[in-house]
Structure 1
Amino acid sequence: MSLLQPIKPPRKARIGLYSVGLRAYWDQFPGLRERLEGYGKFIEGRLSGWADVFNFGLVDTEGEGRRAGEWLNLRDVDLVFCHAATYSTSATVLPVHQINKAPVVFLNLQPTERINYEATTTGEWLAHCGACPVPEFANAFNRAGIPFRVVNGLLGLAATPAGSLTNEITHEREEAIRAWLEIRAWAQAAAVPRTLRHSRFGFLGNTYSGMLDMYSDFTMIQAQTGMHVEVLEMCDLDRQLQSVTADEVARKLAEVREMFEISGDSPSDPIARRPTDEQLEWSCRVAAAQEKLVREYDLDALAYYYHGAPGGAYEKLQGGFIVGHSLLTARGIPCSGEGDLKTAVAMKICDILGTGGSFSEIVVTDYVDGTILLGHDGPFHIAIAEGKPILRGMGLYHGKQGTGVSVEAKVAPGPVTTLNVTQTGDGRLKLISGEGESTDGPIMRIGNTQTPVRFREHPDAYLTRWFAEAPTHHCALSVGHNAALFEKVGQLLQVRHARL
């Protein structure tokens, strides 16, 4: 079994699909209906690689539209693609979405890059005029107060179907590639609300006292995302700790030695030293208890913080948190420190989309390299690390109580995107994302995660725009340029998205 195998894989989106046409055409132009249904089957096949697809087939009257809406309701779809296969009246399409309330995306995917002007018949033209009804759909939906999106481009066939009078091999054209990248992004984004609606986020302990940006209204978060917040106590974790066996500790220690490099003393910081055998054993014992807690309460993510009374048992217990929470984060259970529930949501969004999502804040600006270092004292998303993360024994956790083992690591160089989940003054969640490049620049050797990120403008200009959006001071650091994907997530969650 891979050490990065998810404990709870994200749910696939349930995608509805139907094609539209005009019933009067079928007797007038034999073979047209079957040809359009073939295009719909092609779309279904490609979508099936990213989601569970429910294809109603052809909708060609308003009565069939009503039946399609009821049919899609029974399939509990998260998103509907309406394939504009040929001309159809808006009265045919509108009832589908007056009955089924899932978000809708119109697909204007022309089968050919250019019709055969000399040989084309009316029936042939009708197989290629998918754009024709889309303005009518847009007008009707706007007046009905139903949001919609449109993907324009080429269908992307790899072979021309029998009976076609023109070339329909378009899969290598940029217009097809671009369209299918956007369709795939919609299918991926639709998995986020479905997974969140079925998620249980643990909240262990409390929020770091005085961090006003991070205080959360659990009811507000459930109302806007559908996720449940399970409030946990340190005694719940301590109960799990008492049941950990020597074999379980040994297995965790083997995981740790495979996934981390055990450091020597930091050459610069006297509080960051080689972890002692006792520190490693304790971190592994706590890590085994943390995984037991996740499994008992069926958690999908965890926000945590606890300082405990000086010298108390819970102070020692929380001192062992970072290693185990990094292991959980790498296996699809994002863990955010300091009780930051909103950043746990950001990390979970990134994880559902397969883009990582490491717990981060602004560390320092490097004006020589033009980068902003993003990181924290843990946990770290091991799956997106450059090489093996380093474990260092910490004589103290700055700003917190206790001692233990911390993670020193950086995200691999390449495209990255930050994602904040913040809360506005009127109580609404808000997404903020910014794209940049992680670099191979230097980092401090102090037992903290740090990734130098070069954004698309001077650090001061970027920070000015970032701060103006009133973010929380934590964010999730994801791999890839994902702002357009996060924007789709925001639309499907009905949450505002700001792109820096």
Structure 2
Amino acid sequence: MTRLHAIKPVKKARIGLYSIGLQAYWGQFPGLKERLIDYGKFLEQSMMMWGEVFHYGLVDTEAEGRRAGEWFARQNVDLIFCHSATYATSSVVLPIHQHCLAPVVILNLQPTARINYDQTTTGEWLAHCGACPVPEIANAFNRANLPFRVVNGLLGLQQTPAVSLTDERTSHRKEAIRAWQQIAEWIQAATVRRTLRSSRFGYLGNTYGGMLDLYSDFTMLQAQLGIHVELLEMCDLARFCGEVTPRQVQAKREEIFETFEISGTSTADPIARMPSDEQLEWSCKVAAAQEILVREYDLDALSYYYHGAPGSEYEKLQAGFIVGHSLLTARGIPCAGEGDLKTAVAMKICDILGKGGSFAEIVVVDYDDQTILLGHDGPFHLAIAEGKPVLRGMGLYHGKQGAGVSVEAKVRTGPVTTLNLTQTGDGKLKLISGEGTATDGPIMKIGNTQTPVFFGKHPDDYLEMWFREAPTHHCAMSIGHNAGLFDKVADLLACSHTILK
């Protein structure tokens, strides 16, 4: 996925890593300790692609485990990988995670696909028996009420250590590829958790009146996700709009004309017209003010809505929102309309992961093509568009005040995943995701984003499953099949997650 230059970078996850062993082995089997340490260094180097790695080294006694746990706590790590390098007692492992409560993933990664049965010694076998202590460790975690996750597979070396008696080149094997995909996803999920816990979500205006599913408890969101909600006023944006210079407006105009195609008048819908110069100029000015607002309040995401009295300054201001908010969304500041703060979070999760995250709801079902059209009147994540998005002048915004410029676009053809963040009756956050395929089917020329998606079954059957989960009516659309990745995000955020299948 390519996008415009991000306004704020994603915060890399801080990853803890250590290997385990049994101190009694080192004197009995010379070279074993050094061999296992080298495996740990390989893991460290490989993980640095996705996060900032804090590698403690080898832990082989209960006392060393306590020191390691205290060290990880001081490093403020988001996730810890326990590399089960050989047999170790669970008393070595448990103290680490009692002193540092970061989520833990146990790595059972065998260096070879098959040992050399005829020549293998006890020392050679011990370098490959990482699975042996995992049941014991899992039992200890369970009895200590500590959640854990396990990745099984092959280590994925590209060359065999000189000391080995077997072939350890396993990077091409499916068991190694799958294991490293899991490791990457866990680190990406930890990146989401770290970024959210330091994120500032702007809340501009209010929620669309009567949309009960969208109303949010700001304290609940901070308690469960760590985000801060900054309450913003329309007068703040109006002030910035009044301070925008002609040079800033021109810069936005150039950005907009480079990013979008300017439409003609729709042949089907009389309210969807070619944008006027006045409408485009106003959208450019508002877009410049929106970026100033984001920078002034150091925002990572934004939800917004304002009805405005007919003919008022704020009605005119909100009529220019969609273009600028689409530009911000493509630059790593997801913007969710109608005051939907929960969907802004879902969009932010998708964006942190590099999967897009466009604001959407159910538009219509195409029973002939067996697709469900998903979209909205904006904003749109420009980085995942099929072709160049179109700007249309709207004679009115349906259900809202005012008139202005809207975005007409569709998500590129291929695998997609919807992500919905809802709230259950007991006040808990819940993720809902569904994998499908964006098709090249037709869309309406009405100035709205629309993407036809086939979810692998009859639309009525899919919608029945979706509605049963009591979602909010908006969702984030991401590119790729990401349900497994979202499942790890939900795990680290301590949210329940339903995958629609």
Q: Separation in 2 of the partners of 1:140 and 1:70?
A: 19
Partner of 1:210: 210
Deviations 1:378-430 (A, max 9, x none): 00000000010000000000000100000000000000000000000000000
Deviations 1:283-322 (A, max 9, x none): 0000000000000000000000001000001000000000
SS in 2 for 1:212: coil
Residue identity matched to 1:424: T
Does residue 302 in structure 1 map to residue 302 in structure 2? yes
* 1:309-458 alignment, distance < 5 Å: 309-458=309-458
Q: Separation in 2 of the partners of 1:214 and 1:175?
A: 43
Deviations 1:232-282 (A, max 9, x none): 000000010011011111110000011000000011100000000000000
Q: Separation in 2 of the partners of 1:377 and 1:315?
A: 17
Partner of 2:109: 109
SS in 2 for 1:456: coil
SS in 1 for 2:279: helix
SS in 2 for 1:55: strand
SS in 2 for 1:373: strand
Does residue 195 in structure 1 map to residue 195 in structure 2? yes
Does residue 287 in structure 1 map to residue 287 in structure 2? yes
Q: Answer yes or no: is the 8 Å Cα contact 2:3–2:383 preserved in 1.
A: no
Q: TM-score, normalised by structure 2?
A: 0.99
Q: Separation in 2 of the partners of 1:282 and 1:342?
A: 29
Q: Answer yes or no: is the 8 Å Cα contact 1:359–1:375 preserved in 2.
A: yes
Partner of 1:69: 69
- Greater than 2 Å deviation, 4+ residue runs: none
Residue identity matched to 1:141: F
Residue identity matched to 1:168: E
Q: Answer yes or no: is the 8 Å Cα contact 2:3–2:382 preserved in 1.
A: no
Residue identity matched to 2:395: G
Deviations 1:344-369 (A, max 9, x none): 00000000000000000000000000
How far apart are 1:3 and its partner, in Å?
6.8
Does residue 34 in structure 1 map to residue 5 in structure 2? no
Deviations 1:425-457 (A, max 9, x none): 000000000000000000000000000000021
* 1:221-236 alignment, distance < 5 Å: 221-236=221-236
SS in 1 for 2:98: helix
Residue identity matched to 1:200: R
SS in 1 for 2:112: coil
Partner of 1:481: 481
Q: Separation in 1 of the partners of 2:201 and 2:336?
A: 11
Q: Separation in 1 of the partners of 2:244 and 2:318?
A: 16
* 1:152-163 alignment, distance < 5 Å: 152-163=152-163
Residue identity matched to 1:436: G
Partner of 1:83: 83
Go from structure 1 to structure 2 and tell me whether the alpha carbon gap of 1:332 and 1:64 turns closer, same or farther (over 3 Å shift). Answer: same
How far apart are 1:219 and its partner, in Å?
0.3
Q: Separation in 1 of the partners of 2:56 and 2:194?
A: 21
Residue identity matched to 2:490: G
Q: TM-score, normalised by structure 1?
A: 0.99
How far apart are 1:162 and its partner, in Å?
1.2
Q: Answer yes or no: is the 8 Å Cα contact 1:3–1:255 preserved in 2.
A: no
Partner of 1:494: 494
How far apart are 1:183 and its partner, in Å?
0.5
Q: Separation in 1 of the partners of 2:176 and 2:193?
A: 27
Does residue 127 in structure 1 map to residue 127 in structure 2? yes
How far apart are 1:339 and its partner, in Å?
0.2
Go from structure 1 to structure 2 and tell me whether the alpha carbon gap of 1:318 and 1:216 turns closer, same or farther (over 3 Å shift). Answer: same
Deviations 1:97-125 (A, max 9, x none): 01110000000000000000000000000
Q: Separation in 1 of the partners of 2:64 and 2:463?
A: 53
Q: Separation in 1 of the partners of 2:190 and 2:266?
A: 45
Q: Separation in 2 of the partners of 1:499 and 1:137?
A: 29
Partner of 1:269: 269
Residue identity matched to 2:201: F
Q: Answer yes or no: is the 8 Å Cα contact 1:356–1:381 preserved in 2.
A: yes
Q: Separation in 2 of the partners of 1:189 and 1:133?
A: 26
Residue identity matched to 1:310: P
Where structure 2 has 5 or more consecutive residues not aligned to the other structure, the ranges are none
Q: Separation in 1 of the partners of 2:392 and 2:370?
A: 28
Q: Separation in 2 of the partners of 1:341 and 1:165?
A: 57
Deviations 1:50-87 (A, max 9, x none): 00000000000000000000000010000000000000
Equivalent pairs counted in the alignment come to: 499
Q: Separation in 2 of the partners of 1:229 and 1:168?
A: 50
Where structure 1 has 5 or more consecutive residues not aligned to the other structure, the ranges are none
SS in 1 for 2:357: strand
How far apart are 1:5 and its partner, in Å?
1.0
* 1:136-151 alignment, distance < 5 Å: 136-151=136-151
Q: Separation in 1 of the partners of 2:144 and 2:245?
A: 62
Does residue 15 in structure 1 map to residue 7 in structure 2? no
How far apart are 1:9 and its partner, in Å?
1.2
Q: Separation in 1 of the partners of 2:148 and 2:312?
A: 56
Partner of 1:168: 168
Q: Answer yes or no: is the 8 Å Cα contact 2:437–2:453 preserved in 1.
A: yes
Partner of 2:100: 100
SS in 1 for 2:201: strand
Q: Separation in 1 of the partners of 2:5 and 2:481?
A: 24
Q: Separation in 1 of the partners of 2:5 and 2:187?
A: 22
Q: Answer yes or no: is the 8 Å Cα contact 2:374–2:450 preserved in 1.
A: yes
SS in 1 for 2:332: coil
Partner of 1:48: 48
Q: Separation in 2 of the partners of 1:411 and 1:31?
A: 55
How far apart are 1:26 and its partner, in Å?
0.5
Q: Separation in 2 of the partners of 1:384 and 1:9?
A: 19
* 1:249-260 alignment, distance < 5 Å: 249-260=249-260
Identity of aligned residues (%): 75
Deviations 1:153-206 (A, max 9, x none): 000000001110000000000000000000000000000111011000000000
SS in 2 for 1:213: coil
